[in-house]
Structure 1
Amino acid sequence: MKSHYQVLIIGGGTAGIMVASQLIKQKRYKDIAIIEPASTHYYQPAWTLVGAGTYDYEKTAKPMSEVIPKQAKWIMDKATGFDPDKNTVHTSVSGAITYDYLVVAPGLAYDFSLVPGLGEAIDKGVVCSNYTDPQHTWNVIKNFKGGTALFTQPTTPIKCGGAPQKIMYLAESHFRKSGVRKNTDVIFATGGTVIFGVKEIAKTLMQVVDRKDINLRFHHKLVAVDAEKQIAWYEMGKEITAGGCVVITGNQESELKLDESFQYNYKNVKVIKDGDRYGIHYDMLHTAPPSVAPKFVKESSLVNDAGWVDVNHQTMQHNRYSNIFSLGDVAALPTAKTGAAIRKQVPIVVDNIDLLIKTNHTGNMVYNGYSSCPLVTDYGKMVLAEFDYNNNFIPDPKLKQMLVFDSSKEHWRLWMLKKYGLPYLYWNKMMKGKNV
């Protein structure tokens, strides 16, 4: 097998396929390879809907061979390490592969050791995650008989930070339809301090929370899961001041009533105190897995102190190796890790590689941190959070063509976009190298 390529891409996900497709469309690049071990490519944004029983899981998958551009060489192998000074990537089976330009886009890995007990519990019994098995999520939701429905997330970066609450809104609606809502407390526990970082979106989501009678718990850092006793353990992200709460010490079940910087719409559910940890008893638990860069990336010389690929925030060019770019979930970009962000990052990476080859200089295109989060708030309702590095709300003007004039408000047309429009654009435009 050939062992040198003009452009070598690590990752056959959204970022890797889009970069390859857009480079190939320029008709100057015949020498492109993608290292990707998986045989199936998933459209993961639809997994929220799969977990709510309103989308077919099979429709989220396509064979990798159908998605990788025919003009690109698919190296079905795992990257295992880098030697950037020698323009080399090491692989499990194919040996050393060299490159002129490297694009690092392998996506995220899950590190369950960061939340002890979660790895053993996830996708079994009443513990579920749309990130790992959305079909199990739907089984948990439709078989739920009441009690405490706990929706939570780790404090690591995760794909689409809004996803852990989207499934909560849909689940709450299903609980009403199935008649168990009156016997149910719905809780959202997060390490964050607000429901969402964009104020226009947060205002709408708080109205949804009120409508659905959801208990929000902030500053809750998930640190362990006890599947046998059905307890999620938390540490508080800030100190609880005297008078701000009522706590009964010891290991007994107790009432823990925190002030509104910790809680909104208080519900008296089972809480257990053990030292500095607080346990919430659940009858179903949905969470995102703790996410990190893949081991071969995290242990390389390409990452910053936080373990993400160290790139310029505007150009995605590596800060030390000028012929290396990184984008998508593994890049050290201070914005949400979404396919929508990748959609805006790819043209800039492609332009920079193109100009480097032709002129030895990068271009003038600048990434402003754009990302978007389609926040499904009910069956048939959605708001669309589009924002930049500074959390400014920057809705796409094209939404007006859909007769959506304020995407920070719930709208059925946005639901249609999520369920039908975006999957079509993904498979038929983005994956084919077209700018959308």
Structure 2
Amino acid sequence: MTLHQIVIVGGGAAGIATAASLLKRRKGLDIAIIEPSEDHFYQPGWTMVGGGVFQAPTTRRSTASVMPAGVTHIKGAAASFQPEENQVALSDGRSVTYHMLIVATGIAPAWDAIPGLEQALGKNGVTSNYRFDLAPYTYKLAQNLKSGRAIFTQPPMPIKCPGAPQKAMYLSCSLWEKAGALGNIDVQFHNAGPALFGVKDYVPPLMDYIKRYNAHLNFGSKLIAVDGPNQKATFAQTGADGTTQEVTLEYDMLHVTPPQRAVDAVAKSPLADATGFVEVNAKTLQHTRFSNIFGIGDGCNTPNSKTAAAARKQAPIVAVNLLSVMDGAPATHAYDGYGSCPLTVEHGRAIVAEFGYGGKLLPSFPWDSTKPRWLGWQLKANFLPWLYWNAMLKGREWLAAPLERHTD
């Protein structure tokens, strides 16, 4: 058994950023990160891989290379949490004890939740930008498709990067438009939810592109089965009257966003709420029942959009509040629900959607954020990847300083 001042479970974007923010404020902290993976991914880049803009290897670095100096990397996976004993048990039988705990376990794709999907992925025209190894296949399929039917799916919430399912569609349509093939392709977007985007201000400009690409929207339409060899997808479609019918469609290209769920170790632990996610105060990100535990990122039950931008804003809040609690004071700062989704509506233009709790617009730039812009594309294609690797993971809190004090 090992003991550390602060233990962070998860070495993804949220976990690494929080460790860096903590060390920025207090050098010499004894921090350990529990993370099994040898690789660290810039997942927002996979949309651009699928659109032929990035090469997949540019989105991957070794976990060791992004681990902040002075942090102990415990290579292993958390299997269970014992908050009453301040312990985390690992899958290999080891246990780690902490004074303060940060849970940054993320959200898990449930590829197995759709019969036939796992077996079809990477062939039979079935792809997903939600996997590093499949995003290049998305681009290959889009490049090669000259006619036929292309289906893009979005499952019920919660999912990470809620804009990604439609971004895959827009960038594929942009390629087909440029190649002169768009008119020969039946583009369909099947969304299990009731709206194109969760923040209403962005729906009108997105609808302009839906019309431009002649894409057919299907709301209340959930993918429930994939027949890869025969290239058929089955959907459960719920009508306005609440009745559900099954519809099977043939496809030439099927881009699937998998259903997503809380990580098992968290969902089965005392840290979880009824949905399986870490139960935290939506503002302070402190656990509602265990004061020495904080949550951050996609694995929390906060009602914000699950994006890397949200984790970037949350990391300094968690760092400030954890140190305050560790020193015997209350949590002092509040997270406003900020999330961001640069919606790549065509090659060369993006709508930079920035918003907080309740759909409140929280623009970082002095322009109308609902308009597609070349600068938005430059932000997505060039600035944000650089910001991720060189600022967010290094404790440089540009555009993310924890200014808002908690007043409740």
Fold conserved between structures, TM > 0.5:
yes
Partner of 1:427: 389
Q: Please give the alpha-carbon distance, in whole angstroms, between the structure 2 residues aligned to 1:109 and 1:321.
A: 24
Structure 1 match to 2:320 = 351
Structure 1 residues 101-157: Cα deviation after superposition (integer angstroms, max 9, x where no partner): 110101122223322221222222300000112111112111223111101122141
Q: What is the CA–CA distance in structure 1 between the aligned matches of 2:6 and 2:64, rounded to whole Å?
A: 19
The Cα of 1:307 is off from its aligned counterpart by 1.1
Q: CA deviation at 1:199?
A: 2.0
Instruction: Note if 1:122 corresponds to 2:121.
Output: yes
2:363 matches 1:395: yes
In the alignment, which residue of structure 2 is the partner of 1:340?
Answer: 309
Partner SS for 1:385: strand
Who is 1:325 aligned against? 294
Aligned equivalents of 1:224, 1:298: Cα separation in 2: 25
* Residue correspondence of structure 1 range 104-183 to structure 2 within 5 A: 104-132=103-131, 133-183=134-184
Aligned position for 1:362: 331
* C-alpha distance in 2 between matches for 1:358 and 1:428: 30
Q: Secondary structure of 2:61's partner?
A: strand
Q: Which amino acid aligns with 2:72?
A: K
Aligned residue pairs, count: 396
Following the alignment from structure 1 to structure 2, what is the Cα–Cα distance between the partners of residues 240 and 390? Answer: 27
Which residue, out of 319, 329, 347, partners 1:379? 347
Separation (CA, whole Å) in 1 of partners of 2:302 and 2:201: 23
Which of these two proteins has the greater Rg computed from alpha carbons?
1
What is the distance in 2 between the residues matched to 1:157 and 1:230?
Answer: 27
Equivalent-residue separation in structure 2 for 1:51 and 1:99 (angstroms): 41
Q: Secondary structure at the match of 1:210?
A: helix
* C-alpha distance in 2 between matches for 1:123 and 1:311: 37
Correspondence 1:42-53 to 2 at 5 A: 42-53=41-52
Q: Which amino acid aligns with 1:139?
A: K
The alignment partner of 2:291 has SS state of coil
Question: What does residue 411 of structure 1 align with?
Answer: 373
Q: % of aligned pairs identical? A: 41
Unaligned runs of 5+ in 2: 399-408
Q: Give CA-to-partner distance per residue, 1:363-404, whole Å, 9 cap, x none.
A: 1x11121111110000000001111110122211xx23xxxx
Q: In the aligned structure 2, how far is the partner of 1:237 from the partner of 1:7?
A: 47
> Which whole-Å CA distance do the structure 1 matches of 2:377 and 2:154 have between them?
24
Tell me, yes or no, if structure 1 residue 95 matches structure 2 residue 64: no
Once the two structures are overlaid, the 10-residue window that deviates more, 139-148 or 321-330, is 139-148
Query: CA contact under 8 A between 1:156 and 1:292: conserved in structure 2?
Result: no
Report if the CA contact (8 A) 1:310-1:331 is conserved. Answer: yes
Q: Give the C-alpha shift of residue 12 in structure 1.
A: 0.7
The one-letter amino acid paired with 1:168 is M
Q: State the 1:69 CA deviation.
A: 0.5
Match of 2:263 among 294, 299, 304: 294
The answer (yes or no) to whether the contact 2:33–2:71 under 8 Å persists in 1 is: yes
Amino acid at match of 1:378: E
Counterpart contact for 1:148–1:283, Cα < 8 Å: yes
Matched residue, 1:30: 29
8 Å CA contact 1:77–1:94 kept in 2: the answer is no
For 1:97, give the aligned amino acid.
Answer: V
Unaligned runs of 5+ residues in structure 1 are: 243-274
Amino acid in the other structure paired with 1:321: F
Q: Distance in 2 between matches of 1:309 and 1:116?
A: 28
Q: Is the 8 A contact 1:188 1:215 kept in 2?
A: yes
Q: Distance in 1 between matches of 2:149 and 2:112?
A: 25
Structure 1 residue 21: deviation in Å?
Answer: 0.5
* CA displacement, residues 61-117 of structure 1 (integer Å, 9 cap, x when unaligned): 111111011210001111111111100000123611100011010112222332222
- What is the TM-score with the length of structure 1 in the denominator? 0.88
Structure 1 residues 157-306: aligned runs within 5 Å: 157-240=158-241, 276-306=245-275
Cα drift, residue 231 of structure 1: 2.1
Describe the SS at the equivalent of 2:357: coil
SS state of the match for residue 345, structure 1?
helix
Structure 1 stretches of 4+ moved >3 Å: 237-242
C-alpha separation in 2, matches of 1:312 and 1:116:
36
Q: If the length of structure 2 is used for normalisation, what is the TM-score?
A: 0.93
Q: What's the secondary structure of 1:359's corresponding residue?
A: coil
Per-residue CA deviations over 1:39-74 (Å, capped at 9, x if unaligned) read 111111111111111112111111111101121000
Q: C-alpha offsets along residues 297-348 of structure 1, whole Å, 9 cap, x if unaligned?
A: 1111211111111111111111111111111011001111101111111111
Pair 1:156–1:392, CA change in 2 (3 A): closer
Mapped to 2, the partners of 1:423 and 1:111 lie a distance apart of: 27
1:268-319 deviations in whole A, cap 9, x for unaligned?
Answer: xxxxxxx931122211100111111121111112111111111111111111
Alignment of 1:41-80 (within 5 A): 41-80=40-79
CA deviations on 1:155-191 (whole Å, 9 max, x unpaired) are 1411100001011111011112333322111111101
Letter in 2 for 1:301: P
